[in-house]
Structure 1
Amino acid sequence: MKHLLLVVSLFCMSETILAQNNLAQCLFDAHELFKEKSVTERRAFKHRHLLPLIDKAKANPNFTVTEAGKSFEGRSIFQLKYGKGAPPVLLWSQMHGDEATATMAMLDIFNFLNASGDGFDDLRKKLLEKSTLYFVPMLNPDGAERWQRRTAQEIDMNRDALRLQCPESQLLKHLQQTLKPAVGFNLHDQSPRYSVGESKEVAAISFLATAYNEERTINSVRERAMQLIVGMNRELQKFVPNQVARYSDEFEPRAFGDNIAKWGTSLVLIESGGYKNDPEKQYLRKMNFIAILTALESIADGTYARENRNNYEKIPQNARNHYDLIIRNARAELNGQTYTVDIAVNRNEVNNADATAFSYRSSIEDFGDLSVFYGIDELDAQGALLVDAKGKPIVLRLGDRGNFELRSDKKSWKVESGFLKSL
């Protein structure tokens, strides 16, 4: 670890180097130094685990930690303030209780802001003096406890911006109305099966500059969000090339993002999607860390204003063209006749009893010609026969579990709980 710190410091200590668009690379290389090691599994991190980490942040005199409010079930919701300049920026995570990727990244950012002597002190000074950052990690702690999207009242908080029936919703509006942030970061997770446009690439990260009216008008408030996203997209392309997408900007009158943009805050939505072999989203946590810190720097020094907002529209929009597994060119047999089919299988996470871990429940999602879709994992079965565990030909039905075999004279495979294995 000391060797890594030395290497990163030597590479990044020059303000000139950072000014030459290498900040993102330095953050990428150094992330392990700041990663909160006590948090590596999304479900295992609950409100009680957040408390000691909030106390750790208090050790930095540049942080002011307050209880901003309480959840419906009485759990404390914290606000951490860093900085003393303008403009004010508000960041909140886990509005949906089962979307924890950005909460983990926020903890890493707290560690980053608590550090010193590693080549990043100029950035910390800039953020401290030229902005005021307000962080609200785990806005929905009751939902996080159950690992569910909704609050304890079973209300989707992101559809409660008008009625404000949840105390958590009331708190978020109060923060926006009193802090009057120039920029807000609304941090979420999305399905890991979104595609980047119509391509075969899975959307690792998706951005949105939310609309504030049905016409999706672009005013100066929304333009600033677009410019920030253009910069973040450029930086992330270095680490997830062709895997950044744009979320649909269809206006949703009940949603917080749309209303916060209407209330005068430039709203940047970040959605953490899917990345192969990253079920706990640790790599996407790192992408959030980089995207947020590079954006905060551009807000502090105003460089985001140089970005061409038209490049926002060039980011491909999210599409739904992916399944977890596609088997292509399998052979099915029914009533003595054989025919060629593709098989799409998804693996859905199912919470254990206390919502601290999960198992997979697989299902057959589609069956037939799937040539216009992609699998995160794929197999060309080359005519292998679709059979059960005893070797008897079967025809799968929609909703069946993803448990079957594929047999041929050349090679055979087994699909178990939606995972592919060679036989």
Structure 2
Amino acid sequence: MQKTLVLFIAGFFSLISFSQEAITTKLYETYDSYKETSLHKRRIKHEQLKPLIERFNANPKFEVHKVGKSIEGRDLNLISTGSGDINVFLWSQMHGNEPTATQAIFDILNFLDASDFKTEKEAILSKLKLHFLPMLNPDGAEVYQRRNMLGIDINRDALRLQSPEGRTLKRIRDSLNANFGFNLHDQSTYYNAELTSKPATISYLAPAFNYEKDINEVRSDAMKIIVFMNNIIQKYAPGQVGRYNDDFEPRAFGDNIQKWGTSTILIESGGYANDVEKQEIRKLNYVSILSAIYTIAKGSYQDISIADYEKIPKNDRKLFDLKIENVTYELLGKDYILDLGIHRQEVDDENHESFYYRSMIADQGDLSTYYGYETFDATGYKIVPPKVYPKSMDTNSRALWNDGNSPFKSGYGYFKTNFLPPFPYTEMPGHFVSKDYKLPEFNLRPGVNPTFFLEKQGKLTHAVINGFLIDLSKPIENQNFGNALIYH
């Protein structure tokens, strides 16, 4: 009898697990039906959210309330739905340049408004009341910066509450007395899962509520939800999950909201190969958050062991956009073997709507414990300094690059022109300079722009232009190249 009971219980929980896995798969497969297509890149602004918020305001399934204003007077809105007794509060873009989850929130709202998944949505909305506060820092989003217009990090304002945005967040949390909170952020794309070459595409944290890092029921429930979400992400981005440092930060909202009694789950959206605008990571947010909401509604998270929380690899920061290994660099007549780690830094345009790349060597030397989104083994290759093309070039085209006799392929990385464009970059794989430009003495070191050529057995084989590796034997259209620079 006892053995039969054990088998029944095991089978019951296996059925729950299978049921939730099936829902997650369906959510992933049908995502495009709910994706908010008006939001498709990272540099979104408050004006883009207004018509979406108005649409939900006119929908009787949702309640929309203006709950505050930013320093510059932009509305902060809370969108709520559901009739349950368990309050779940989700807020995003506390940092203005961390918009991935803001987009995912509107995808989730579209899903909740749609007519399908009726059984699952009934289970969610009858048990829970969901509250979404998208874009907590609209002033920062306007100029794509982390801090608000007071110049402070809102996530370090939980004690003094100097910012109106921080005061709004605290007031809403308290008025809801939320059972669960999802604190939604972006992190650097240079984080990796510890001791692996894989980016920390998603990182989680159940923040500590004291210096001792004690675990009470509130924090334990957050850990269980994170274990559940980690298992989901592993299906779509295996090995690409990290665990954020849990040192207690007494000024931070996440730590304090945990302390105030809300089981708080921090989600950080990091990097994913070939996903510059983080649209695949947005999808992972959508799937994992909705699945977590479902397990909260069903109560099935309660049977998850928190022992698996500590098994999630820690976040590390050892990724480069491009890593060149074992390259030969001649200095003062001697050859040295170096690794180069290159970061492609984004520079916003004046309207903060787009960007170009201005790359730099982030580190060099022995980088054997570091990794790259792109890695090139340059064993047997030698660095060749770039040259300035002696003639003025007033036409520059991809056809010129692809020509077999192109000056690009003869070691010229800089080109003089009579008509220097007013903007700071070019999509062609060579820097433009003024007629009187003098190329500085070539010297590799951290902080300089990585522009040089690679030679093997006396033949130029590759160019590195503004931190992008280009194979000289292939058409430029088929290669991952961002932009070169214009030096005025």
The answer to whether the superposition gives a TM-score over 0.5 is yes
Task: Check whether the contact 2:453–2:460 (CA below 8 A) recurs between aligned residues.
Answer: no
1:180 counterpart (177, 180, 194): 177
CA distance in 2, matches of 1:339, 1:152: 48
Which structure has the larger Rg over C-alpha atoms?
Answer: 2
In the other structure, the counterpart of 1:77 is 76
- Deviation string, structure 1 residues 253-306 (Cα, Å, up to 9, x no partner): 100000001111111000000000000000000000011100000111111101
* Partners of 1:306 and 1:59 in 2: CA distance: 39
Equivalent residues, number: 406
- Aligned residue number for residue 280 of structure 1: 277
Shift of 1:215: 0.4
Structure 2, gaps ≥5 residues long? 1-14, 388-410, 413-440, 473-488
**Aligned counterpart for 1:403 among listed residues 451, 454, 459:** 451
Higher mean C-alpha deviation, range 100-109 or range 369-378: 369-378
Contact 1:364–1:399 (8 Å) recurs in 2: yes
Q: Deviations over 1:309-338 (max 9, x none)?
A: 110000000011111111011111112111
Higher RCO structure, 1 or 2 (CA under 8 Å, sep 6+): 1
TM-score normalised by L of structure 1: 0.93
Q: 1:18-417 maps to which residues of 2 (within 5 A)?
A: 19=19, 21-43=21-43, 45-116=44-115, 118=116, 120-390=117-387, 394-409=442-457, 412-417=461-466
Distance in 1, matches of 2:368 and 2:249, equals: 33
Q: Distance in 2 between matches of 1:89 and 1:228?
A: 13
Do the aligned partners of 2:104 and 2:283 also contact (CA within 8 Å) in 1? yes
Q: CA deviation at 1:17?
A: 10
Task: Verify: 1:419 aligned to 2:472, yes or no.
Answer: no
2: CA distance, partners of 1:226 / 1:299: 13
Q: Which residue of 2 aligns with 1:4?
A: none
- 1:16 is displaced (CA, Å) by 9.1
Deviation string, structure 1 residues 177-216 (Cα, Å, up to 9, x no partner): 1110000000000000111011111110000000000000
Question: Residues 322 and 376 of structure 1 are in contact (CA less than 8 Å); yes or no, is this contact kept in structure 2?
Answer: yes
Q: Which SS does the other structure have where 1:148 is aligned?
A: coil
Q: Can you list the C-alpha shifts for 1:47-73, whole angstroms capped at 9, x where unaligned?
A: 011000111223432210111111111
Instruction: Tell me the SS of whatever aligns to 2:159.
Output: coil
- Mean alpha-carbon deviation: is it higher for 403-412 or for 82-91? 403-412
Q: What displacement does 1:394 show?
A: 4.5
CA contact (8 A) 1:206 1:245 kept: yes
Counterpart residue type for residue 295 of structure 2: S
Distance (whole Å) between structure 2 residues aligned to residue 414 and residue 112 of structure 1: 47
Provide runs of 4+ in structure 1 moved above 3 Å. 15-18, 391-395
Q: Distance in 1 between matches of 2:276 and 2:337?
A: 32
- CA–CA separation in structure 2 for the residues paired with 1:411 and 1:378: 19
What's the CA shift string for 1:69-97, capped at 9, x where partnerless? 11111101100011111210100000000
CA contact (8 A) 2:207 2:246 kept: yes
SS in 2 for 1:331: strand
Deviation at 1:124, TM superposition (A): 1.3
Moved more, 357-366 or 164-173: 357-366
Higher deviation after alignment, 261-270 or 53-62: 53-62
Q: Which ranges in structure 1 are unaligned for 5 or more consecutive residues?
A: 1-14
Aligned-pair RMSD on alpha carbons? 1.6
Deviations 1:365-415 (A, max 9, x none): 111111111111110112211122235995401100121211113661111
Q: Scaled by the length of structure 2, what TM-score is found?
A: 0.81
Q: Does the CA contact (< 8 Å) of 1:89 and 1:183 recur in 2?
A: yes
Q: In structure 1, give the amino acid aligned to 2:48.
A: H
8 Å contact from structure 2 (residues 20, 291) kept in 1 = no
Identity of aligned residues (%): 49
How far did residue 123 of structure 1 move? 1.4
Question: Is the 8 Å Cα contact of residues 218 and 263 (structure 2) preserved in structure 1?
Answer: yes
Residue by residue over 1:331-369, the C-alpha shift from the partner in whole angstroms, topping out at 9 and shown as x without a partner, is 111121112111111011111101111111111111111
1:332–1:395: 8 Å Cα contact kept in structure 2?
A: no
